Amino acid sequence: MISRKAPLREVYVWQLPVRIFHWVNAFVITVLCITGYIIGDPPAIMHSTAPEANYWFGWVRLAHFIAAFIFVVNFAVRIYWFFAGNSFAKWYNYIPLKKKQWRGIFETIKVDVLLLSPKPVYDIGHNSLAAFTYFGLFIIMAIQTFTGFAMFCVSTNNIFEPFFTWLLFEMGGFFPVRNIHHILMWAFILFAIAHIYLVFYHDYIERNGIASSIIGGWKFINATIVEEAEKEELEQEKIKLDEKRLETIEKKIKV
């Protein structure tokens, strides 16, 4: 039996749009990686049958294109939610702009990578290392979007074709763009392996419901940590209000 020394509080961390983004992303990236691998290294078709009888490769490409468009729309919604979401979904969580975030990154590396400390780093949302890793993943997603559209649009006559054709040639032509797109596919695969392992690892050592939180949205956090976070948030809101008041006073003085 596992005993808990500290009281826990239930915190609603991941809002519904974030959870939908996560699972849609997981599904479409799986489809994109499988179909992309087949497209990048298609098996030889040595049959004497009519071409239409072997159209399975066309369905592979169609599945890749459909998944790609879903991927882009889903990514666009997540970008919007960087600004519209709660404090755990905001963009500033993913870029280490504060000393506290850098300290969290190094502490998490000591626990997760170097195994130098048995004491886990507790965070309400993403820990700083995970958040920074996701920021890198978002950059890769953006690159995959542009390189994918560059290869797709060059053979079409849609309104974006001139821009993506220009981009394709600026990047050195079809072959280097294809190589970038293909190599970054493996980055998704490696990320997925590490991500799944670390989620269950942290769920085991922290016992805060991190694995189930992406389904229901709730995590179970040490009450002291929650109280500290709430205090910090109130202080930040107070600073913002004071800044607004100062701006208002300055405008009145100028008038």
Q: Write down the pLDDT at residue 4.
A: 55
Structural domains present in the chain = 15-216 (1.20.950.20)
Q: Write down the pLDDT at residue 1.
A: 42
- Measured over the CA atoms of residue 205, residue 211, residue 212 and residue 213, the dihedral's sign is positive
Structure tokens at 215: 């389904």
Please give the helix or strand (H or E) that residue 109 lies within, else none: none
From residue 223, how far is each of 11, 123, 201, 208, 220 by CA, in Å? 10, 12, 22, 12, 9
From residue 80, how far is each of 74, 84, 194 by CA, in Å? 10, 6, 27
The type of residue at 1 is M
Q: Write down the pLDDT at residue 50.
A: 60
From residue 213, how far is each of 52, 98, 125, 216 by CA, in Å? 47, 26, 10, 5
Return the closest-CA partner of residue 29 out of 199, 193, 188. Answer: 188
Per-residue model confidence as pLDDT tens digits over 211-220: 899 999 988 8
Tokens 């998490």 belong to residue: 108
Per-residue model confidence as pLDDT tens digits over 141-181: 999 999 998 888 877 777 777 888 888 888 888 889 999 99
Contact present, 200 and 211 (Cβ < 8 Å): yes
Residues in the chain: 255
Distance between start and end Cα atoms, the chain: 69
Please give the helix or strand (H or E) that residue 11 lies within, else none: strand 8-12
Quick one: 48 exposed, middle or buried, by C-beta within 10 A (0-12, 13-18, 19+)?
exposed
pTM value is: 0.81
Contact present, 14 and 169 (Cβ < 8 Å): no
The type of residue at 193 is I
pLDDT lower than 50: segments of the chain: 1-2
Q: Write down the pLDDT at residue 51.
A: 56
